[in-house]
Amino acid sequence: KGWTGWPRISTDRIAGAGTRALRGLLRDMRHNSRLAVQTRAALHQTGALHVAMTVEMPLCSILSAMEVVGVRFNQRALTEHTPAIEAELTSLTKQAQSIAATPFNLSSPE
């Protein structure tokens, strides 16, 4: 019981699940804030902060919109250009392997 003698009523009981959701959101925001500080420091330390802020961050909203809305492409034009694209990709792959002095799979994440 509270100082009034009446039973205590939790905020969750009054406001419902929305309060729990807000608490979770605040927890996530605190975590993301700490992560942002650490990421910014790491980018600065490696010299990549300028690229991240001037190239990558501005693209985030564009890529996000593309993910939501989708993109349109011309199937006929893509089919027409596919042989030239494949030839250029093969040439660039050979150049990369020549520079590396060993064959490797460019599609491999390793």
Give the pLDDT of the chain (110 residues) as one tens digit per residue.
556 677 777 766 766 667 777 888 888 888 888 898 999 999 999 999 999 999 999 999 899 999 889 888 899 999 999 999 999 999 998 998 899 888 888 887 76
* Residues 37, 43: Cα–Cα separation, whole Å: 10
Q: Which residues contact 52 (CB under 8 A, 6 or more apart)?
A: 43
Of residues 20, 51, 57, 62, the one with CA closest to residue 36: 57
For the segment 28-40, what is each residue's pLDDT rounded down to a tens digit?
A: 888 888 898 999 9
pTM: 0.42
DSSP 56: I
Residue with tokens 């199937």: 75
